[in-house]
Amino acid sequence: MAKASPVPGKTLLTSQDHTLILIDHQSQMAFAVRSIDIGSLRTNTALVAKAAQGFGVPTIVTTVAEKSFSGPLFPEITDIFAGPVYDRTSMNAWEDAQVTDRVNEIGKSRLVFAGLWTGVCIVGPVLSALDQGFETYVITDACGDVSDEAHERAVARMIQAGARPMTSLQYMLELQRDWARGETYALTTGIAREHAGGYGIGIQYAKTMFSAQEGGH
């Protein structure tokens, strides 16, 4: 018989156990996206980037044909990460040795992906990483594709192969996990107030009107 104990599930992410890989959040790639509003996509991407940076998650940023076609990265990424950006020609980032060498250098067996487009530049590395024994997660609302159909079929395909889907807010709150973690409390609620829509407005309202805080912290 199973016995309950106050221990988190093994598939829950922590800030120390994974690498975040942000792929092709570029202007030209965004122009054709129809599966999500571009404003929402940028907001969700900013939330993920700020959370990863704040929690100290090692992050790989990659572009495709930045100079010749796809254009600059979202400022929500470049404003947060000052490190190298790996530009490539392959649609599948996993087929570029710069990216896989960096994955190996960081040394995490769990990888979290987000980027454009879901059905091409996310499916490719996710399926490739799974095939090589990595655990993969996909932040689906920080991804987008040319149609709802394209995005949904890509997500379904990755789930069938073993990837775990999640959202941008879910990603950040999973890293925080406990409101008693005072060292990242202000970080998490601050990012939420700015980027988490109605939830963020609710935090602002409660704090302003009642001096209330999540979890009674």
Q: Does domain 18-173 have CATH number 3.30.1360.20?
A: no
- By annotation, the residues acting in catalysis are 121
Ranges of residues in the chain with a pLDDT under 50 are none
List of residues 6+ apart from 117 with CB closer than 8 A? 24, 29, 32, 33, 143, 144, 145, 146, 150, 151, 154
Q: What is the pLDDT of residues 72-106, one digit of tens each?
A: 999 999 999 998 999 999 999 999 999 999 999 99
Q: Report the pLDDT value the prediction gives residue 68, as an integer from 0 to 100.
A: 73
Q: Report the pLDDT value the prediction gives residue 66, as an integer from 0 to 100.
A: 72
Domain ranges of the chain: 18-173, 179-216
Q: Report the pLDDT value the prediction gives residue 149, as an integer from 0 to 100.
A: 98
Q: Report the pLDDT value the prediction gives residue 101, as an integer from 0 to 100.
A: 98
Q: Report the pLDDT value the prediction gives residue 67, as an integer from 0 to 100.
A: 76
